[in-house]
Amino acid sequence: MDSIAQTTSGDIELDGVFRAGLREVPHFPIDGILFKDIAPLLAKPGILTKAVAAIEPLVAPLQVESIMAIDARGFVIVAALADRLGAGFVMVRKPGKLPGKVHSFDYTCEYCSGRLEVTEGALQPGLKCLVVDDLLATGGTARATADFAKSLGAEVIGYTFLIEIEALKGRERLDDAPVVTLLRC
């Protein structure tokens, strides 16, 4: 499927702020990884509002009913985006973080593998879902999240990330729905 290739919403100032606000942390969380930290970026007043305002018109035509946010930096974006779109917010968490009955599924990313959980009943067949995280690297976590949603009968209608590391080609694993990113590195 064609992707929505977006480096910004046409706002060059936003692109510059994003690039300047990213902090690169060598060898985190393991040796050999250059971690892209969005915390300094989000500490700037108004940047979250600008980022969500740039994303909203790109995903609104998809008629999102629920947004699946991947633990934990994805939560920051999704809370504001879900509010603007009038959509639900489904937390995809690491084990032991959600109370009650949960569904579990495995994932593999660029530096580890593990399990993620979603509260039972949060996804229903036919629900139109957007998968969101802060960063697209290899696409492993987003792919596993989408596959899990589909296994419950939900429809994955798109993927959204603040940042995409193009060299890792994660977009290629997400070829079943549009991919929206604000900044490609």
pLDDT tens string for the chain (185 positions)?
333 334 333 344 567 777 788 889 999 988 988 888 888 888 889 888 989 999 999 999 999 999 999 998 878 889 999 999 999 999 999 999 999 999 999 998 877 889 999 999 999 999 999 999 999 999 999 999 999 999 999 999 999 999 999 999 999 999 999 999 988 88
pLDDT value of residue 1? 36
Query: What residue spans of the chain are helical by DSSP H?
Result: 12-21, 39-42, 47-59, 73-85, 140-151
123 Cβ contact list (under 8 Å, min separation 6) = 66, 68, 90, 129, 149, 152, 153, 154
Instruction: Kindly report the CATH number that applies to the domain delimited by 12-184.
Output: 3.40.50.2020
pLDDT value of residue 72? 86
Q: Is 126 helix (H, G, I), strand (E, B) or coil?
A: coil
pTM: 0.90
Tell me the C-alpha distance between 105 and 159, whole Å: 19
User: What phi and psi values does residue 88 have, to the nearest 5 degrees?
Assistant: -75, 170
- Residues classed as catalytic: 73, 110
